[in-house]
Chains A and B, each alone.
Chain A
């Protein structure tokens, strides 16, 4: 049983205890008091991307100066669970290398999208969501027209066919991306817009995945066509859809 698989299991935290969850750059501190949970989080840059751990810590070890958020619970929940979730905002994918795709060509990549960590308390069969936290702090951008655009996360990636670092970036969603040029002209790939609400989340024993995204180019001045697959991506084995009880 892998560490990643254990990370998502329900855990118990008794009253008066604290714990630290490390999820990539994200550090989540949890404190459990009578009928309330306190959550604090911080982002630590420049550390190991593959970090995924859960540690119970004495209250004395919890650093001062954290910005705690307190959540009251009606029941006496001592269990909580960390759940993977899709990104909260759309993602604007940008490759600074200004790649081109020749006429009638199709190419497939795998990219890593920072996922979201959901902290829920569990009482019997029901769960209460406390907070949703992006695993990585990304810059923001405005996407679409000035009147009807949306705020999106700005994600710079390098579109390459093999990404060995993805295998260890446990806090990232591995997204198979297929680009298809349906025209006789060269497609200059500028900015791709991914909508997490259309994606399906999968889990392997080691990593988190989303269904394949097919992007079709139908000529200059025409919008790109996005297809979001709901089935498990082919290259990965032992994938299962991530589902939890209703919140």
Chain B
């Protein structure tokens, strides 16, 4: 008895959640079209009704522009490719946050400031889009600004020590130590540390504190600024 109960509970809906959501969201539109058609057919204006409906649809497309159609196709494309899942931590353009509900034409994004933003589906295709949840490891980039008087060897040595001493930093992929830009009075270095995704965003504080601690100990005045987050492995990134 219990076994059959367990088996019944294990039955799964054959379609993916994305396709299901797309069908559910698109159902009102399909029903509306069928209803309009039926009403016109009821009045014996089958041919007239059909062409009238086509005319209305064309008018809607022209009036509402290509945006809606683009969003619709974008949503369909994203659903078929399974790029989005509710709860994913993503970046679309300038917006970074957790993905909420996925609608037919847009998706809800809750930012770190707790703002609920509606992102059109077309933005996922046209703007830089990164899904951090698909990557188990991430790279945190930081810009380190140092006065020109400090020799580069000393700074690079310090940055290597930061990477070595940080408990969350992965040995491989290797951390990045780059001389990023040389300006009139300062030199900018880029430090890129790979870490496990679960440590974000706390690792940013840990690394900044470690840099401060080591730079104070070695008497190297340093300014630190996080400059980006990168991911790898199953990451979807598209740029316009």
Cβ proximity bits B195-238 to A, threshold 8 Å, 1 near / 0 not: 01000000000000000000000000000000000001110000
B187 lies within 8 A of chain A by Cβ: no
* A111–B59 alpha-carbon span in the complex (Å): 76
On whether A146 and B167 interact (CB within 8 A), knowing A140-B196, A151-B136, A151-B196, the answer reads: no
Beta-carbon contact of B167 and A142 below 8 Å: no
Asked if B132 is at the interface (CB within 8 A of a chain A CB), the reply is no
Interface size on B, residues (CB 8 A): 14
Shortest CB–CB separation between residue B89 and chain A, in angstroms?
Answer: 18
Interface residues of B (CB under 8 A from A): 136-137, 167-173, 194, 196, 232-234
- Which residues of chain B are near A146, meaning CB under 8 Å? 232-233
Q: Tell me which of A148, A149, A154 has the highest count of chain B C-beta atoms within 10 A of its own C-beta.
A: A149
Complex CA gap A36/B52 in Å reads 74
CA distance A151 to B194 in the complex (A): 12
Question: Which chain A residues lie closer than 8 Å to B167 at the CB level?
Answer: 137, 139
Does any Cβ of B come within 8 Å of A147's Cβ? yes
Q: Which A residues are CB-close (under 8 A) to B169?
A: 139
Per the bound structure, the CA–CA distance linking A230 and B234 in Å amounts to 36
A143: B residues at CB distance < 8 A = 172
Assembly CA distance A185 to B195 (angstroms): 36
Closest-CB distance, A3 to chain B (whole angstroms): 31
Q: Are A140 and B136 in contact (CB under 8 A)?
A: no
B233 touches A147 (CB 8 A): yes
Q: Give Cα distance in the complex from A141 to B136, angstroms.
A: 12
Partner of A142, one of B168, B194, B234: B194
- Nearest residue (CB) in A for B194 is A142
In the complex, chain A residues whose CB is within 8 Å of the CB of B168: 140
Cα–Cα distance between A139 and B233 once the two chains are bound (Å): 21
Q: Are A147 and B170 in contact (CB under 8 A)?
A: no
Q: Contact check, A140 vs B170: say whether CB atoms are below 8 A apart.
A: yes
Determine the distance from Cα of A162 to Cα of B196 in the docked complex, in whole angstroms: 36
Q: Which of A130-169 contact B (CB under 8 A)?
A: 137, 139-143, 145-149, 151, 154
Q: Which residues of B contact A142 (CB under 8 A)?
A: 137, 170, 172-173, 194
Once the chains bind, are A141 and B232 in contact (CB under 8 Å)? no
Q: Which of A140, A147, A151 contacts B234 (CB 8 A)?
A: A147
Nearest to A140 among chain B residues (CB) is B170
Q: Which residues on the A side are within 8 Å of B171 (C-beta)?
A: 92, 139-141, 154
| Distance between Cα atoms of A139 and B232 in the complex (Å) | 20
Who on chain B is nearest to A143 by CB?
B172
* Nearest chain B CB to A157 CB, angstrom units: 14
- Distance in angstroms from B134 CB to nearest chain A CB is 9
Known: A139-B171, A140-B168, A146-B232. 15 other contacts (CB 8 A): A92-B172, A137-B167, A139-B170, A140-B171, A141-B170, A142-B137, A142-B172, A142-B173, A143-B172, A146-B233, A147-B233, A148-B233, A149-B136, A151-B137, A154-B172
For A154, the chain B residues whose CB sits under 8 A away are 171-172
Please give the distance in Å from B61's CB to the nearest CB on chain A.
Answer: 40
Nearest A residue (CB) for B134: A147
Q: How far is the CA of A96 from the CA of B168 in the complex (A)?
A: 21
A142 to B137, CA, bound (A): 8
Judge whether A141 and B196 touch: CB under 8 Å: no
CB distance from B83 to the nearest CB of A (A): 15
**Quick one: which of B172, B196, B233 has the most chain A CB within 10 A?**
B172
- Of the listed residues A142, A143, A151, A154, the one surrounded by the most CB atoms of chain B closer than 10 A to its CB is A142
